[in-house]
Amino acid sequence: EKTRTGFFQNILNTLTNCQIDDDLYNDLEEQLILADVGPACAVRLVDELRDEVEKNHLKTGEEALDALRGIICQELTPRYPLELDGHPAVILVIGVNGVGKTTTIAKLAHLYKEEGRRVMLAAGDTFRAAASEQLELWADRAGVPLVQAGQGADPAAVIFDAVKSATAKGYDMVIADTAGRLHNKKGLMDELGKISRSVKKASPEASLEVLLVLDAITGQNAISQAEEFCRAAGATGVVLTKLDGTPKGGCAVSVWENLGLPIRFVGVGEKIDDLMPFDAQTFVESLLPEVPAHKED
């Protein structure tokens, strides 16, 4: 059924969208806004498209759509790989409450273990009810060891211990969980700074990636989240979760536009292998699936 309407829609599009006009630009802008790219960023991207249409003498709606996809795709393609060559390679996972940090850690542990790395987890969420029980179950499923302390323990100390222990036992990667926190809570954000400093203290040879987890359904608040997590904890990349739902995850585009944080992985489900490296092409195709059909109103 879906492909059938898609098919007729496309015929309609080729009939109505031969020309590139203001309606088309408006519709593309609307698509971007509906995907949570945000009004300001959507306007900026469509302006870039106008320039490109003029420069390259584009004619049809399809060509314009491809050009817009191209613009976004080029911007989102990470320019350098993750830094994972330290001893150990540490990945610190941060973000607001409930976005999928703990689940993402399980998925990362699984991924890197399959790649032949020796992975250890650190239960840096010592606050939330049953957080370490949850991570313990995931560690078992992934088949990796976990360093944990009691409820209320100092998270920086737990992560320090994990990095020390990994170094001593010959593990080459530590993935650390942290408690969810809203980015406008100063005390909790300062704690993150302390946590990330504890990594180098435990091992000067360690490398550190700080991945900010964003729920794909997040709206424009994602920008504020990214700003604060960059400031307090030096976030280096984004994991966009719950892309198996209906949201397009356009908030990550505005985060890129505003802060230059590359998207590294996408979460596409609740199972341990539901994590994929970020692919800009696939992402952009789902962000802008087809030429919008012109509406009457």
Partner 1 sequence: MAFESLTERLNGVFKKLRGKGKLNEADIKAAMREVRMALLEADVNYKVAKDFCAQVSERAMGQEVMESLTPAQQVVKIVNEELTKLMGGDEPQYLHIKNKGQTVLMMCGLQGNGKTTHAAKLGKYYRSQGRRPLLVACDVYRPAAIQQLQIVGEQAGVPVFTMGTEKPEHIAQQAMAHARDHGNDIVILDTAGRLQIDDALMDELVRIKEAVEVDETLLVVDAMAGQEAVNVAKTFNEKIGITGVVLTKTDGDTRGGAALSVLAVTGKPIYFQGTGEKLEDLEPFYPSRMASRILGMGDVLSLIEKA
In the complex, least distance from residue 243 CB atom to Mg ion, rounded to whole angstroms: 19
Sign for the pseudo-dihedral over CA of 5, 10, 15, 20 = positive
Cα 146 to its chain centre, rounded Å, is: 24
By C-alpha distance, which of 114, 94, 260, 250 is closest to 177?
Answer: 94
CA 277 → CA 108, 111, 128, 283, distances in Å? 10, 10, 28, 11
Q: Which does 138 bind (CB under 5 to 8 A by kind): partner 1, Mg ion, ligand GTP, none?
A: partner 1
The residue range among 57-65, 125-133, 203-211, 280-288 that interacts with partner 1, by the rule CB under 8 A, is 125-133
Q: Which does 71 bind (CB under 5 to 8 A by kind): ligand GTP, Mg ion, partner 1, none?
A: none
Instruction: Please tell me whether residue 273 binds partner 1 under the rule CB under 8 A.
Output: no
Q: Long-range contacts of range 51-57, CB-CB < 8 Å, 24 or more positions apart? A: 53/20
Q: Which does 267 bind (CB under 5 to 8 A by kind): Mg ion, ligand GTP, partner 1, none?
A: ligand GTP
Tokens of 174: 């530590």
Q: Which of residues 115-134 bind ligand GTP (CB under 6 A)?
A: 125, 128, 131
Instruction: Please tell me whether residue 247 binds partner 1 under the rule CB under 8 A.
Output: yes
Residues, the chain: 297
The residue range among 51-59, 68-76, 141-149, 262-270 that interacts with ligand GTP, by the rule CB under 6 A, is 262-270
Name the helix (H) or strand (E) containing 89.
strand 89-94
Phi and psi for 89 in degrees, rounded to 5?
-85, 120
| Contact call for residues 36 and 247 (beta carbons, < 8 A) | yes
Applying CB under 6 A, which residues contact ligand GTP? 95, 97-103, 125, 128, 131, 180, 182, 241-242, 244-245, 267-270, 274
Applying CB under 8 A, which residues contact partner 1? 30, 33-36, 38-40, 96-100, 127-130, 133-134, 136-138, 182-185, 215, 217-224, 227, 242, 244-247, 250-251, 270
